[in-house]
Structure 1
Amino acid sequence: MNSKYAFYMDSTKCMGCKACMIACKDAYNLPLNVNYRRVAECVGGDWFIQPDGTYSQNVFAYYLSVSCNHCNDPKCVAACPTGATHKNENGLVVIDASRCVGCKNCSWNCPYSAPQFNEEKQHMTKCDFCADRLAQNLAPVCVLSCPARALDFGPTEELIAKYGRANIAPLPPSHITQPNLAVNPHQNSVKATTNTTLLANKEEM
């Protein structure tokens, strides 16, 4: 089942403030080191000395805000031995806490590391696209909190048709899970299929 909703992230607007990350953490009272949304700082490039002694550079940096992408081919669902992690009737990937045994297979198999073990609850947890808010026709808290309006959400078919599935480093190539995430790439962004060395700073809070 395809997701009815997709996240949209405009990397040209994101300034790495982490307001989305903090708003999500506050709304769901998440403990230390459990973050449903993360902001990666992607940097690369180098400086080069020229024959005349001057320097040139191809240094770049951009930010990418990512949570669970509620993929069309979710590896977390395939890896779950109890069926706790599953796609619901709205196409969202969710976790049934009553069936979760905390084996962490879902997290180990998700290339985005979206599912996270909550020590306090003793089961896996993850972004559910603010399902309760969606049921009330309200936007996810991360979308509302972004001061630069770099985050949005909408119908999957519409966003993917306009922007394509996210295929930007440091994310894995989109063909692996078919993520329901559309990204307007930064002018310096690097495709996920390149071999460029990147540093993705995913700060824990």
Structure 2
Amino acid sequence: MAKRLRYDMNACLGCHTCSLVCSALSGYHSLGASAINIKTKGGLQGKFVCVVCSGCTENISCMEACKTGALKARTGGGVVLDKSKCIGCKECISSCTTRAIHYSDNLDHPIICRQCGTCTKYCPHNCLYLEEVE
């Protein structure tokens, strides 16, 4: 059964372990190469929010905006990037309804969550988890 990344940010301390683990999968140890963006709602004492691909299953705007077919629907929601087809037009970034896609100049392609769940294994407070979907 397919799985999709979900989160409960009530226990998040903003340690960015999930973001760093995600970026390490691409060969970089940088928040800029992560598909997960942890930030505050505002102020030093504000709660943290997680900006990550929501795993759309219908009307996948980033995929629809891709002119070259570099983004394909993933079973269970979200998309899979074929880097060899990506031309760096960044249309997927501006079309993403959750603003979860960003472009890495170092990697020369958009950073999009693959819903792999590696980040869930390293979150010290279990804020991230994989949900089974049909």
TM-score class normalised by the smaller sequence = 0.7 to 0.9
From the CA coordinates, give the structure whose radius of gyration is larger.
1
**Which 10-residue stretch deviates more, 121-130 or 145-154?**
121-130
Alignment CA distance shift 1:30-1:112 (3 Å): farther
Whether the 8 Å CA contact 2:26–2:33 is kept in 1: the answer is no
The counterpart of 2:100, out of the listed 114, 118, 125, is 114
* % identical equivalent positions: 27
Partner of 2:5: 7
- Aligned residue-pair number: 131
Alignment of 1:109-148 (within 5 A): 109-130=95-116, 140-148=117-125
Match of 2:66 in 1: 80
Query: Could you tell me how far apart the structure 2 residues matched to 1:89 and 1:143 are?
Result: 19
TM-score, length basis structure 2: 0.81
Name the CA distance, whole Å, in 2 between partners of 1:91 and 1:10: 19
Do structure 1's residue 149 and structure 2's residue 132 form an aligned pair?
no
Q: Does the 8 A contact of 2:70 with 2:83 survive in 1?
A: yes
Q: Report whether the alignment pairs 1:21 with 2:19.
A: yes
SS in 2 for 1:106: helix
Cα 1:114–1:12 change in 2 (3 A) is closer
Contact 2:76/2:133 (8 A) holds in 1: no
More helix by share: 2
- After superposition, what is the alpha-carbon deviation per residue over 1:146-166, rounded to whole angstroms, capped at 9, x for unaligned? 111111112136xxxxxxxxx
Gaps of at least 5 residues in structure 1 are 45-59, 131-139, 158-205
Local SS of the residue matching 1:8: strand
Where in structure 1 do 4 or more consecutive aligned residues deviate above 6 Å? none
Q: Please list the CA deviations of residues 42-85 of structure 1 after superposition, one character each: whole Å capped at 9, or x if unmatched.
A: 137xxxxxxxxxxxxxxx72112232222123210111111111
Which of 83, 89, 95 in structure 2 is aligned with 1:103? 89
Q: Which residue of 2 aligns with 1:43?
A: 42
Deviation at 1:92, TM superposition (A): 3.6
The answer as to whether partners of 1:5 and 1:155 remain within 8 angstroms in 2 is yes
Whether the aligned pair in 1 keeps the contact of 2:104 and 2:110 (CA below 8 Å) is yes
